[in-house]
Amino acid sequence: MTVRPVLKYPDARLSQPCDPVGAEDVSALIADMFDTMYAAYGRGLAGPQIGVMTRVFVMDATWKDGPRSPIAVLNPVIVPVGAEAEGEEACLSVPGVSARVIRPATIDLQYETADRLPRRVTLTGAAARIVQHETDHLDGLLHWDRMSPGARAALIAEYEALT
Ligand code: NI
C-alpha cells in the first residue's frame, strides 16, 4: 500500500495508448492506485497517471460527499446510451484548471473486476463522466482533448501560466 507520484502534463506517458491488462496479478497495483487517488483527493485515477501503461483505473464517485464506493475497472469497453451532457472535469495530471466537456450522459460499461470477473453496468451522472474521463486516459487523451481546438488551446495556456 503505497501512495505513488502522479504524473503531470506534459509527461509523454499521458498521451500514449495503453495495452490491455493480461493475466498478471494487479491486486497490489490497485491497492496503490486507491491509496494514491484518495491521498490526492481525486475521484478517479488511471494507470498511465502513475506510469503504468495498462488498461486499468480506479474510481470513487461518492466519497467526497458521502460514503466511499471504490470501484476498480480493468479493460473497460464503453457504449454510449442516449443524450449528451456538459459537465466540469478536473484531472490530477492537470492540477489547477478545469474543463467543460460534453459527453454521453449515460453509458453501458463492460469491464473486468480486480478478481477478473466480467461485469456490465449502466451508469449515469458523475459515475458515467468519471468512467469516460478515466477511459480516455487509457487511450492517451486528456479532458481538454474533448474540447474545441480554441477552448483546448486556451485551457492549455491557462495551465501553463500556472506551472
Ligand atoms: Ni484525469
Which residues are within 5 Å of ligand 1 (an ion), measured at CB?
91
What per-residue confidence (pLDDT) applies to 82? 84
137 is in an annotated binding site: yes
Measured in Å, residue 82 CA sits from the centre of ligand 1 at: 24
User: How confident is the prediction along the chain (163 residues), in pLDDT tens digits per residue?
Assistant: 799 999 999 999 999 999 999 999 999 999 999 999 999 999 999 999 999 999 999 999 999 999 999 999 999 999 999 899 999 999 999 999 999 999 999 999 999 999 999 999 999 999 999 999 999 999 999 999 999 999 999 999 999 999 8
Spacing, Cα 134 to ligand 1 middle (Å): 6
Q: Catalytic residue numbers? A: 134
DSSP letters spanning 41-95: T-SEEEGGGGT--BSEEEE-SSTTTSS---EEEEEEEEEEEEEEEEEEE--TTST
Rounded Cα–Cα distance for residues 69 and 59 (Å): 8
pTM of the model: 0.97
The verdict on whether residue 91 carries a ligand-binding annotation is: yes
For position 24, what pLDDT does the model report? Answer: 93
| Cα-to-centroid distance, 20 and ligand 1 (Å) | 19
Does 143 count as an annotated binding residue?
Answer: no
Q: How far is the CA of 155 from the centre of ligand 1 (A)?
A: 14
